[in-house]
Structure 1
């Protein structure tokens, strides 16, 4: 069998073993009248872990390998926030409204106490949910994110990534130029691209513009003085790639210093997609943190 044939067969074996790849789309109408799309991998008797997604990301932007690993021992829920993917409504242009929308979704499922895992933009929302107290949050995981007033280079980094004309823009956007990181990136893209049934549509210009405005405004607000972080009493795991160009690693350090009960982990030779590059390692760290 040639290399291409082996690769396809290997991917088929991966997807056959992946529960997330075949988890059906579910829908719930919240009190705000918005119908939210979500996928749930349930483990009875565990605190649900809700995943909050990155800039322009949908349910199908998550790494199935990562989701499957974390879902072995706990209930995992991924969803499209208002206006994204197959959820209804309009994408807000503020983190505050995105947070309210996410709270409506959580309340609609009557989940009770939850854990939150926020990646990038999702990390902003996770911080605000934990600080607001409208939803009962037990523990918080923040990955590749930034505090209010933090450092961001979103538009610059995205523009530069597209200018590289890579096979997939996520390779220069989420991974470092090293051979090891790029190989991990290609493996992640293969895994994330395999699902065909009930797949979310890609985010369009309206979503990109609204979310970019929200991200830039969040990081431009230097007046809060880490007020949001100081309101978070829940144990928090902060994970960052050492070479993240979109939200530089100084954000993770500043969050760690400002928070009441935070643990900081920085992964080597990794960029914005550190959690996908080190999917197994990250899943183990998350499991250890949530179980402790």
Structure 2
């Protein structure tokens, strides 16, 4: 694994695989999740399909910078500050996390890339696609939304259950058990995973890094960030939206809304998929992403060639 340091002093831990001359795909992970949550089958599947693929730990997750010098975040104060004249210090916003991605691109001398974002990562990718159009060749938003998701009765129930399951002490075993329960609650009902598989996955995550306050700071960044719907309407890049029919964290209606807001966006609703990457779905998802990215790359190459021919003709005429 390698690291870069952003102009704002954030160290980002990343993985960069594939031919350096191949089209670049940047994977942006979601709330509180480390880059290793991107399944290896998906990650290396894209590499084997001819792409240079980069995944990284967002600030406050994994092996990237943990901003522990900030006071312990209060979700209640953050929520109230948007509704009442109460001051609440927000450590950072989604825009700052988007700038981290741009800093990573700059450090690796990448001018343009295809962006794939999951959940909160999809929100960050949307911001980049809307505000830095020349850097984005294609956009894929997986189980994400175009604004702070509305809480349904089902999602409120999930959050209440998660609050009850929250570890009372920051112990290794309790963190693992919490991760297991979390994935059982938000996972894909049509593709359940055994507790043994979930335990192995949770153990790997916790032993790599455990940063519950970082999760809270990222959640506050989501809650405090401005609504993106007006920006998203400006996105013209080829866009694919993938959403599970049984997502209890971000309702499938949010995926439909995102696809509706972005001109010519394609929507794929996956029956039985929840808010996770079910192993059984990864071959299909890899295929969808490959097709979408290659089509966008061909479109860009054709446009680039056309512009080059136009410039050459202009010079000859002169």
State if a TM-score over 0.5 links the two structures. Answer: yes
Q: 2:111 aligned with 1:112, yes or no?
A: yes
Cα deviations by residue, 1:189-245 (Å, 9 ceiling, x for unpaired): 47856969xx7312x232121111122334xx56x6x21211211011100000101
Question: CA distance change for structure 1 residues 89 and 201 in 2, over 3 Å: closer, same or farther?
Answer: closer
CA pair 61-143 structure 1, distance change in 2 beyond 3 A:
same
Structure 1 unaligned regions, length at least 5: 1-24
Partner residue, 1:62: 38
Whether the 8 Å CA contact 1:143–1:239 is kept in 2: the answer is: yes
For 1:100, the equivalent position in structure 2 comes to 99
In the TM superposition, residue 256 of structure 1 has moved relative to its aligned partner by 1.1
Report which of the two has the higher share of helix: 2
Write the distance in 1 (CA, Å) between the matches of 2:160 and 2:134. Answer: 36
SS at match of 1:169: helix
In the alignment, structure 1 residue 87 sits paired with structure 2 residue 64: yes
* Mapped partners of 2:48, 2:200: distance in 1: 18
Q: CA deviation at 1:65?
A: 1.5
The corresponding residue for 1:201 is: 209
Partner of 2:223: 216
TM-score under structure 2 length normalisation = 0.72
Q: Cα gap change, 1:152/1:123 in structure 2, threshold over 3 Å: closer, same or farther?
A: farther
For 1:229, the equivalent position in structure 2 comes to: 232
Q: Which has the larger radius of gyration?
A: 2
8 Å CA contact retained: 1:35, 1:89: no
Per the TM alignment, residue 160 of structure 1 is displaced from its structure 2 partner at its CA by: 2.0
1:106-129 deviation line (CA, Å, top 9, x unaligned):
212111110111000101100001
- 8 Å contact kept, 2:188–2:274: yes
Matches of 2:45 and 2:286, distance apart in 1: 6
Distance 1:89 1:161 in 2: 23
Please list every run of 5 or more consecutive structure 2 residues that lacks an aligned counterpart in the other structure: 69-90, 166-176, 296-318
Are residues 246 and 194 of structure 1, via their aligned partners in 2, closer, same or farther at CA, if it must alter by over 3 Å? closer
What are the residue-to-residue correspondences of 1:262-277 with 2, within 5 Å? 262-274=265-277, 276-277=279-280
Distance 1:162 1:291 in 2: 42
CA-atom RMSD in angstroms: 2.8
Distance 1:107 1:191, change over 3 A: farther
Q: Deviations over 1:17-76 (max 9, x none)?
A: xxxxxxxx1112233332221011122432211111111111222211121112112111
**Alignment partner of 1:182: what SS?**
coil
The answer to whether the Cα contact below 8 Å between 1:103 and 1:134 also exists between their aligned partners in 2 is no
Displacement of 1:187 in angstroms is 8.6
Does 2:26 align with 1:46? no
> Where does residue 7 of structure 2 map in the other structure?
31
Q: Specify the alignment match of 1:248 in structure 2.
A: 251
How many residue pairs match? The answer is 258
